[in-house]
């Protein structure tokens, strides 16, 4: 069967508007204006644009300055940090801190640890970079957005050692129910992406089921992780309603009730006034 790479259709609009708490507009085909218009047409009225290196973080800040509906997060992605030799990493971190001070930049991230793509040799650089990003978030009083892939224990340990910022978001939450309880006890936000709809994602749905509604966010991580039944096709912020509806079913909540929580939570997590 040939794979279908066309854009999935627009879902039915949400009645209660929400934010896509984590997207990469710079990696998607449509223009920023097209992406925002499609999202707004289905009730996704706010997006957090996440930069993964210094240049793309600069782009995120510029895009947020130009669009009311866009807030920026800036960081060196955990897979980026090991590519930079020590002095270059320091220089890039200084650049990130300058961007983090801007008013339209609401978060430092995505930072954290990714043991899936990085071998033993990259771990030290990742951990150093993660600690520095935590410090920047605290100095600039911004939210911290965490990328945690196959590194749950070390991410939680380093957050404890450094002292987590007041507002900490686990993007594309990937832990189990036990970890969700740990995160809830610490007040960490858990942002669920399209993979929560995947057939093999039962442990993730169990985590979502126990996560307090006050700490749950939704995101696309677009262009990645397109929710079912569109897995494999390009993802975009306008597909948030597909994931949110599946999440509401998992939590045994109405779509409107969950959307109300998610809208308020995202505003609280990133520190903007709920639209």
Q: Which residues bind Zn ion (CB under 5 A)?
A: 110, 147, 221
Strand partners, 146: 111, 170
Q: What is the DSSP string of 129-183?
A: HHHHHHHHHHHHT-EEEEEEES-HHHHHHHHHHH---SSEEEET----HHHHHHH
From the CB of 237, what's the least distance to Zn ion, in Å? Answer: 13
Nearer to Zn ion (CB atom), residue 110 or residue 132: 110
Please state, in angstroms and rounded to a whole number, the distance separating the CA atoms of residues 32 and 204.
31
From the CB of 103, what's the least distance to Zn ion, in Å? Answer: 22
CA distances from 25 to 40, 61, 64, 65 (A): 14, 12, 11, 14
Nearer to Zn ion (CB atom), residue 132 or residue 221: 221
Peptide bond into 206 cis (omega under 30): no
What is the bridge-based pairing of β-strands 189-192 and 143-149? Answer: unpaired
From the CB of 257, what's the least distance to Zn ion, in Å? Answer: 27
Please state, in angstroms and rounded to a whole number, the distance separating the CA atoms of residues 93 and 96.
5
Nearer to Zn ion (CB atom), residue 97 or residue 221: 221
Contact 22, 219 (CB under 8 A): yes
Nearer to Zn ion (CB atom), residue 118 or residue 248: 118
Nearer to Zn ion (CB atom), residue 132 or residue 148: 148
Nearer to Zn ion (CB atom), residue 80 or residue 110: 110
Nearer to Zn ion (CB atom), residue 48 or residue 248: 48
From the CB of 34, what's the least distance to Zn ion, in Å? Answer: 20
Between helix 240-251 and helix 202-210 the angle, nearest 10°, is 70
Q: Which two tokens stand for residue 224?
A: 């990645």
Please state, in angstroms and rounded to a whole number, the distance separating the CA atoms of residues 90 and 94.
6
From the CB of 81, what's the least distance to Zn ion, in Å? Answer: 13
Q: Which residue's Cβ lies closest to Zn ion?
A: 147
Contact 36, 30 (CB under 8 A): no
From the CB of 254, what's the least distance to Zn ion, in Å? Answer: 29
Q: How far apart are the first and last CA of the chain?
A: 44
From the CB of 151, what's the least distance to Zn ion, in Å? Answer: 12
């Amino acid at each position: 069967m040939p794979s279908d790479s066309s854009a999935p259709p627009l879902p039915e609009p949400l009645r209660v508007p929400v934010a896509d708490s984590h997207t990469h507009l710079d990696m998607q085909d449509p223009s920023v204006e097209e992406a925002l218009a499609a999202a707004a047409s289905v009730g996704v009225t706010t997006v957090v644009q996440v930069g993964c290196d210094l240049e793309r973080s600069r782009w995120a800040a510029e895009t947020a300055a130009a669009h009311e509906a866009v807030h920026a997060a800036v960081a060196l992605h955990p897979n980026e940090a090991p590519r930079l030799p020590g002095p270059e990493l320091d220089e890039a971190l200084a650049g990130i801190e300058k961007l983090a001070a801007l008013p339209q930049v609401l978060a430092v991230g995505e930072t954290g640890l990714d043991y899936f793509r990085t071998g033993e040799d990259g771990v030290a650089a990742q951990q150093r970079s993660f600690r520095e990003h935590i410090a920047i978030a605290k100095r600039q009083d911004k939210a911290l957005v965490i990328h945690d892939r196959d590194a749950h224990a070390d991410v939680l340990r380093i957050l404890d050692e450094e002292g987590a910022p007041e507002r900490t978001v686990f993007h594309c939450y990937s832990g189990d129910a036990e970890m969700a309880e740990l995160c809830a006890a610490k007040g960490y936000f858990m942002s669920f992406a399209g993979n929560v709809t995947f057939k093999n994602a039962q442990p993730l749905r169990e985590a979502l089921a126990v996560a307090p509604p006050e700490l749950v966010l939704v995101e696309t991580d677009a262009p990645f992780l397109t929710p079912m039944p569109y897995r494999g096709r390009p993802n975009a912020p306008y597909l948030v309603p597909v994931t949110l509806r599946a999440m509401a079913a998992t939590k045994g909540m109405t779509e409107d009730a969950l959307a109300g929580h998610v809208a308020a939570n995202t505003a609280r997590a990133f520190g903007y006034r709920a639209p």
